[in-house]
Chain A
Amino acid sequence: MNVLVFTLLVWLGSFAAGFLGSLTGLGGGVVLVPLLTLVFKVDIRYAIGASLVSVIATSSGAAAAYVKEGFSNIRIGMFLEIATTVGALVGAFLAVKVPTAAIAIIFGLVLLYSASLSARTQPVIPENDRPDPLATRLRMNGTYPSADGPKNYYVHNVPTGFSLMFGAGVLSGLLGIGSGAVKVLAMDQAMRIPFKVSTTTSNFMIGVTAAASAGVYLNRGYIDPGLAMPVMLGVLAGSLLGTRVLVKAKTRSLRLVFSLVIVLLGLEMIYKGIVGGI
Chain B
Amino acid sequence: MRASLQWSDRRVEDVIGNLLRAGVLLSAVVVLSGGVIYLVRHGHDRADYRVFRGEPTDLRDIRGILHEAASLHGRGIIQLGLLLLIATPIARVAFSVFGFAAERDWLYVGFTLLVLMILLYSLIGSS
Contacts and interface: CB of A to CB of B under 8 A. Distances in A.
Interface of A: 1-7, 36, 40-43, 45-46, 53, 56-57, 59-61, 63-65, 67-68, 70, 74-75, 78-79, 81-82, 85-86, 88-89, 92, 138-139, 207-208, 210-216, 218-230, 232-233, 236
Contact of A232 (B46, B59, B82, B89): B82
Interface in B99-127: 105, 107-108, 111-112, 114-115, 118-119, 121-124, 126-127
A223 B35 CA distance: 15
Given A78-B108, A78-B115, A82-B114, A224 B61 contact: no
B123 A215 contact: yes
A228 B107 CA distance: 37
Contacts of B75: 225-226
Given A57-B85, A208-B89, A223 B20 contact: no
A36 B50 CA distance: 10
Contact of A82 (B18, B39, B51, B115): B115
Given A81-B115, A215-B119, A229 B89 contact: no
Contacts of B66: none
* Interface SS, A side: helix
A48 B83 CA distance: 16
Contacts of B27: 57
A5 B45 CA distance: 10
A63 B115 CA distance: 18
Contact of A68 (B13, B28, B60): B13
B67 interface: no
9 contacts: A43-B52, A59-B89, A60-B85, A68-B14, A215-B86, A215-B123, A221-B54, A221-B56, A230-B35
